[in-house]
């Protein structure tokens, strides 16, 4: 199976999420099931049905996280000057047509979050940016059509954990 890149911080967040499911959410759900059983006939008990459905969801999410953790390749981001875009880089780009500037950090697919300006190296823009240097132009096909961006700054900041 193919390894999935992730930052050390992303890996730690995923491990904490797994621990929360196992040590907090599952025990809470078990208590909810026990409480619902005490309300009588299980065939007409909506609380029991909901708790059992939640249990199935929690168990499948635990399995998914465990499977992902087994496939992850933790890549530590070091404080260095890079003349090209690499995994973990923060990249400032400008839309050539609109002049709008944006900054993104390139991360693995399991930790991408556009609201935090973190894009996956497997996303179209992330793929296009890898290996580019300041002044390079990238063309990306988006749902709105072809977009052209210029790389205007590259930085790599070490992770803090």
- Please indicate, yes or no, whether residues 69 and 97 belong to a single structural domain of this protein: no
Domain annotation covers residue 80: no
Query: Beta strand 4-7 with 145-155: parallel, antiparallel or unpaired?
Result: unpaired
- Please indicate, yes or no, whether residues 27 and 61 belong to a single structural domain of this protein: yes
Domain range for residue 22?
4-75
- Please indicate, yes or no, whether residues 17 and 55 belong to a single structural domain of this protein: yes
Strand order in the sheet with 101-107: 118-120, 101-107, 90-95, 145-155, 137-142
CATH number assigned to the domain comprising residue 144? 3.10.50.30
- Please indicate, yes or no, whether residues 102 and 54 belong to a single structural domain of this protein: no
- Please indicate, yes or no, whether residues 58 and 105 belong to a single structural domain of this protein: no
Domain boundary among the residues 43, 75, 107 is at 75
- Please indicate, yes or no, whether residues 95 and 41 belong to a single structural domain of this protein: no
pLDDT for 39 equals 79
- Please indicate, yes or no, whether residues 69 and 94 belong to a single structural domain of this protein: no
**What does the pLDDT look like over 86-135, one tens digit per residue?**
999 999 999 999 999 999 999 999 999 999 999 999 999 999 999 999 99
Q: How confident is the model at residue 77 (pLDDT cuts 50, 70, 90)?
A: confident
Domain annotation covers residue 82: no
DSSP secondary structure string for all residues of 14-39: HHHHHHHIIIIIHHHHHHHHHHHHTT
Domains: count for the chain: 2
């Amino acid at each position: 199976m193919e390894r999935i890149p992730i930052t050390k911080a992303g890996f730690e967040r995923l491990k904490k999420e797994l621990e929360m499911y196992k040590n907090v959410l599952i025990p809470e759900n078990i208590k909810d099931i026990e409480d619902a059983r005490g309300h009588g006939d299980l065939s007409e008990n909506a609380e029991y049905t909901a708790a059992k459905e939640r249990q199935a969801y929690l168990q499948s999410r635990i399995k998914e996280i465990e499977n992902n953790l087994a496939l992850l390749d933790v890549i530590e981001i070091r404080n260095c000057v890079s003349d090209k875009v690499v995994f973990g880089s923060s990249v400032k780009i400008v839309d050539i047509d609109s002049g709008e500037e944006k900054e993104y950090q390139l991360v693995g697919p399991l930790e991408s979050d556009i609201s935090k300006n973190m894009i996956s190296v497997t996303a179209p823009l992330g793929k296009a940016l890898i290996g580019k240097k300041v002044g390079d132009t990238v063309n990306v096909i988006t749902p709105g059509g072809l977009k052209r961006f210029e790389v205007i700054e590259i930085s790599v900041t070490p992770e803090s954990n």
